[in-house]
A and B are shown apart, each in its own frame.
Chain A
Amino acid sequence: DVKVTQSSRYLVKRTGEKVFLECVQDMDHENMFWYRQDPGLGLRLIYFSYDVKMKEKGDIPEGYSVSREKKERFSLILESASTNQTSMYLCASSRGQGRDTIYFGEGSWLTVV
């Protein structure tokens, strides 16, 4: 069974802090994703990666960066957290391209105060 694990479920950070959200998948998937989930807006893609050290912008990359140094690990970085980045962040992975199942982590609730 595919497992996508997000290390932090709940975080509270101050405005201006640097925030790291970590994600690990155990199924040797090529692709990894970071989504943001907000009520009424669905799941919006922030960044994705199709290989180690490769990254591509999604639909809302502003204010975020990512790192993929190992195949199984994909990190989301908020360089200087702002209150409008308070949200649920979902990491995901998939084996191939768009017709393959996307497996999600349980989410990280981030509150920026």
Chain B
Amino acid sequence: GENVEQHPSTLSVQEGDSAVIKCTYSDSASNYFPWYKQELGKRPQLIIDIRSNVGEKKDQRIAVTLNKTAKHFSLHITETQPEDSAVYFCAASTGGFKTIFGAGTRLFVKA
């Protein structure tokens, strides 16, 4: 069935460094790729998304890239800050009702 693999499961960076989280998806019909951030004890919230007709999207310190040929997409966070510490989930959707989530990456930003 459809699957989204996410790596790494845990990532620790120094404040100010960059962080990269990578995901691969199995369903070539996937055309929408959102990223959700879940801070400790809080609900997951959408932080950025990308559609399949775009290769890259930026929003301040975060960016997503998509390689449809390789079925691979990534989240890039630059100049990390302690408040970036959270669990990040990638996801893929074909536009139907089901969105498939990755297993999550726990990001620690050390001050």
Contact = CB atoms under 8 A, between A and B. Distances in A.
Interface in B56-106: 89, 93-99, 101-104
B14 interface: no
Given A41-B103, A98-B94, 14 more contacts: A35-B101, A40-B103, A42-B6, A59-B1, A90-B44, A97-B96, A98-B96, A99-B31, A101-B46, A102-B99, A104-B36, A104-B43, A104-B44, A106-B42
In which size bucket is the chain A interface?
20 to 34
B28 interface: no
B57 to A, nearest CB: 14
Interface of B: 1, 4, 6, 9, 31-32, 34, 36, 42-46, 49, 51, 89, 93-99, 101-104
Contacts of A59: 1
Q: How would you classify the secondary structure of chain A's contact residues: helix, strand, loop or mixed?
A: loop
A98 B104 contact: no
Nearest to A35: B101
A44 B49 CA distance: 19
Contacts, number: 60
Given A40-B9, A106-B42, A106-B43, A98 B95 contact: yes
Nearest to B95: A98
Given A99-B32, A99-B51, A101-B34, A43 B43 contact: no
A99 B99 CA distance: 9
A19 interface: no
B97 A48 contact: yes
Interface string A37-52: 0001111110010100
A42 B103 contact: yes
A42 to B, nearest CB: 4
A59 B101 CA distance: 11
Contacts of A104: 36, 43-45
A55 to B, nearest CB: 11
